[in-house]
Amino acid sequence: MKILVPVKRVIDYNVKIRVKADSTGVETANVKMSMNPFDEIAVEEAVRLKEKNIATEVVVVSMGNDSVQETIRAALAVGADRGIHISLDDNINSLQAAKLLKKIVEEEKPDLVITGKQAIDDDANQTGQMLAALLGWGQGTFASKLEIADGHATIIREVDGGHMTVKLKLPAVVTTDLRLNEPRYPALPNIMKARSKPITKKMATELGVDLAKRVEVLKVEEPAKRSAGVRIKTVVELVDKLKNEAKVI
């Protein structure tokens, strides 16, 4: 059983986001970058399936310039077997990413695709669903538990107000939620081994996908600063402010 795991390089979640001086985007120069946290969970789950002898190979794929190879190496250090780098310089939308992944799936023929439910830079939550639709595969989104047996994937997924259990016939696409697992820290020997694991580079322009921009970002602005709070002494004063100032009652 082969598992394919798409991973994305994003600004580290501990970094405070700053808007560029010219308002064309967010500052990424000299900013710590790391693997998207939801994708870390996807890699961990794939490696655990391999450790249980359910999967035989874990392949990670990432899109971007040469810097994404660092993100791929991080996944290889956790336990993935090899990586695929789809080389491109410009930002792409979720549908374009899904179409590029479809080409990789057609080449690699994995039995399961596990990816993060969303990336923390755009919070789109679209690529996994779009990939499943393009492939005609079943999908299990927001997975908090995953079990593989008898050619099927049983997934407990988080929904508003509770949990839903779905059973999918493989091959399928699964997107991970936060409670699926806790990613491990790679040991130093595994980090060293990751340096020798293969990464195949493919040019995005050669995969037959239309990468023309459909959306143009005109301006990026920081959200308005919140005004300072005020202390109130009585419930009567609170009700008055909610009614006459906030106008929420």
Q: State the Cα–Cα distance between residues 155 and 18, nearest whole angstrom.
A: 38
Sign of the CA dihedral running 211, 213, 214, 220: positive
Q: What is the pLDDT of residues 169-205, one digit of tens each?
A: 999 999 999 999 999 999 999 999 999 999 999 999 9
197 within domain boundaries: yes
- In the predicted model, what is the mean pLDDT of residues 197-218? 91
- Count CA atoms within 13 Å of residue 107 on its CB side: 12
CATH number at residue 163: 3.40.50.620
Give me the domain span that covers residue 114. Answer: 2-244
- pLDDT value at 231 more than 90: no
12 within domain boundaries: yes
249 within domain boundaries: no
Q: What is the pLDDT of residues 80-96, one digit of tens each?
A: 999 999 999 888 999 99
127 within domain boundaries: yes
Q: How many domains does one find in the chain?
A: 1
- Percent of the chain with pLDDT strictly greater than 70: 100
Question: Which of 183, 210, 200 has the alpha carbon at shortest distance from 85?
Answer: 200
Instruction: Name the one residue in this structure whose structure tokens are 């795991």.
Output: 5
50 within domain boundaries: yes
**229 vs 191, more confident:** 191
Q: What is the pLDDT of residues 113-141, one digit of tens each?
A: 999 999 998 899 999 999 999 999 999 99
- Percent of the chain with pLDDT strictly greater than 90: 74
- pLDDT value at 245 more than 90: no
124 within domain boundaries: yes
**199 vs 23, more confident:** 199
- In the predicted model, what is the mean pLDDT of residues 132-160? 94
Instruction: Name the one residue in this structure whose structure tokens are 């991970």.
Output: 176
